[in-house]
Amino acid sequence: MEVIIQSSSQEASALGARLVARLVRRKPSAVLGLATGSTPLPLYRDLIRLHREEKLDFGAVTSFNLDEYLGLPPAHPASYHHFMRENLFRHLNIPEENTHIPDGLTTDVPAFCQAYEEAIRMAGGLDLQILGIGGDGHIGFNEPGSSLVSRTRIKSLTPRTRQDNARYFSTEDEIPRHVITMGVGTIMESQEIVLLAFGEGKAEAVAAAVEGPITASVPASILQLHERATILLDEAAAGDLRRSAYYRWIYDHKPAWQEI
């Protein structure tokens, strides 16, 4: 696990975008795992810029999103289908048929989840998964207590996560209680993982995930067992880390061949 602390979310996101760009240049048919929420937005803006200014080509890329609310149609402004279309897909040349997001309107959740897992496998598996982190340590919508080997399935949101996402809905009642999410085990099979976290609201979860015990109570802590996980933080999100001076030293003294 490599922890990189930058002075702003923009700088940390630019590093994340460079990791994605490096992969897509090396492997034009890369399979990306994508997240929604406020965290990946600056990274997505950077990818759009790289596509426009440096002709970064997404024409052969495939993507799988982490999650979607159950019961929301794709056109709903708070759906993750809508989020991805508006904030990323419509600005890139990624073919629509190559983009996959769990179907919030499926009438057979277990069959859909199995098919989603199968589609990831058929695409050759995830090359790089982008993650945010919940204030409670969730990744995807794998809330505390989720099995660390779980696969794509239905999950119930905790009251805290519903509250955190309330800003996207007009009434309390509208906030979905159920989601389909890739499992922790699904995420862990990605060849590479890039987790971003910004703001002091994430500091406690980041410290627990990076320096705490590996536990289902903090699903993101399983990333300690991943061979290629990069944690990109701004100063505020790094605020509770005990070894932050060490992480900074490592980053400042990276040999040139290891630079991002």
Q: Any catalytic annotation for residue 103? A: no
Q: Any catalytic annotation for residue 67? A: yes
Question: For ligand F6R, how many residues bind (rule: CB under 6 A)?
Answer: 14
User: In this structure, what DSSP letter does residue 221 have?
Assistant: G
Q: Max Cα separation, the chain?
A: 53
In whole angstroms, how close is the CB of 36 to ligand F6R at the nearest point? 4
Does 39 bind ligand F6R (CB under 6 A)? Our answer is yes
Of 138, 189, 192, 234, which one is the catalytic site residue? Answer: 138
HEC profile for 30-79?
CEEEECCCCCCHHHHHHHHHHHHHHCCCCCCCEEEECEEECCCCCCCCCC
Q: Is 113 left (phi over 0), alpha (psi -120 to 50) or beta?
A: alpha
180, β-bridge pairs: 68, 154
Does 156 bind ligand F6R (CB under 6 A)? Our answer is no
Burial (CB count within 10 angstroms: exposed 0-12, middle 13-18, buried 19+), residue 21: middle
**Position among 16, 42, 137, 140 found at the interface with ligand F6R (CB under 6 A):** 140
In whole angstroms, how close is the CB of 80 to ligand F6R at the nearest point? 6
Of 136, 164, 189, 192, which one is the catalytic site residue? Answer: 136
Does 176 bind ligand F6R (CB under 6 A)? Our answer is no
Instruction: Give the residue numbers annotated as catalytic, written as ranges.
Output: 67, 136, 138, 143
Kindly list the residues in this chain that would bind ligand F6R in the complex (CB under 6 A): 35-39, 66-67, 132-134, 138-141
